[in-house]
């Protein structure tokens, strides 16, 4: 991989003035930028090639941002930063869990947006294993595709689920503190608490474990955090 290649960003917004200004700011910082005015135009851009990152509005004509993000995530593991005037806690939490790596409210502050873009690109590049992670005969993770294979059945993972599993996989077999998982999964939320991690781990066990009540891979380190472990080939 050429680390000196300019990172490619697809910028999607129906505000023409924002597109011009933000694209110029990003290009000045060394990014290669393509723009689209709505979801349909964005899909045409994606047919020509995949960017490293998408920055997109939610409220757009023809194909709204949420529908577009869902369609993109169904086809490829492209990181998405939502840039939107819709700034309620419920919307932010739902989007971060389902389709987005980060959420920036309009009017944006460019240095903050740039920092978040760089953090997402750095975090994904550092953390996502590009190969399948075989944890046993019952479970294989393809985190670069946000997929798991559970007893021969393909299971889709949400961005938040993937972020937690990426952190655990990077420390395979070792205890990862609850506070670390909280910071990794919900870094953009002001009032996230440990219950978010507990709920997410329970949900992951329902998805990934053959017996969620007796987990073989997502192990609790009581009072500390969690471990992701591989089992022997014979289970």
- The pLDDT value given to residue 143: 80
Third-level CATH fold of 8-127: Rossmann fold (3.40.50)
Q: What does the DSSP assignment read for 36-73? A: ESSHHHHHHHHHH---SEEEE-S--SSS-HHHHHHHHH
pLDDT of residue 5: 66
Residues of CATH 3.40.50.2300 domain(s) within the chain?
8-127
pLDDT less than 70: residues of the chain = 1-5, 76-77, 87-93, 123-131, 187-192, 232-235
User: CATH 1.10.10.10: which residues of the chain?
Assistant: 133-228
pLDDT of 34: 95
- Supply the pLDDT for residue 204: 97
pLDDT reported for residue 1: 35
Specify the fold of 133-228: Arc Repressor Mutant, subunit A (1.10.10)
pLDDT at 235: 43
User: Rounded to two decimals, what is the model's pTM?
Assistant: 0.57
**What was the pLDDT predicted at 187?**
64
What pLDDT is attached to residue 63? 78
Tell me what pLDDT residue 3 has. 44
């Amino acid at each position: 991989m050429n680390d000196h290649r300019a990172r490619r960003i697809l910028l999607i917004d129906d505000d023409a003035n924002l597109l011009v200004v933000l694209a110029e700011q990003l290009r000045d910082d060394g990014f290669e930028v393509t723009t689209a005015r709505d979801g349909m135009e964005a899909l045409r851009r994606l047919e020509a090639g995949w960017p490293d990152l998408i920055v997109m509005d939610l409220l757009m004509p023809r194909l709204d941002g949420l529908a577009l993000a869902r369609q993109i995530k169904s086809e490829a593991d492209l990181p998405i930063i939502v840039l939107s005037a819709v700034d309620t806690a419920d919307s932010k939490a739902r989007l971060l869990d389902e389709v987005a790596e980060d959420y920036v409210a309009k009017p944006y502050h460019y240095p903050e947006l740039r920092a978040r873009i760089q953090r997402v690109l750095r975090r994904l590049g550092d953390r996502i294993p590009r190969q399948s992670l075989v944890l046993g005969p019952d479970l294989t993770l393809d985190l670069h595709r946000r997929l798991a294979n559970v007893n021969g059945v393909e299971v889709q993972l949400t961005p938040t689920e993937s972020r937690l599993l990426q952190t655990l996989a990077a420390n395979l077999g070792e205890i990862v503190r609850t506070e670390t998982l909280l910071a990794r999964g919900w870094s953009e939320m002001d009032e996230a608490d440990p219950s978010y991690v507990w709920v997410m781990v329970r949900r992951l066990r329902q998805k990934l474990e053959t017996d969620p009540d007796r987990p073989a891979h997502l192990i609790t380190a009581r009072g500390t955090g969690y471990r992701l472990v591989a089992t022997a080939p014979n289970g």
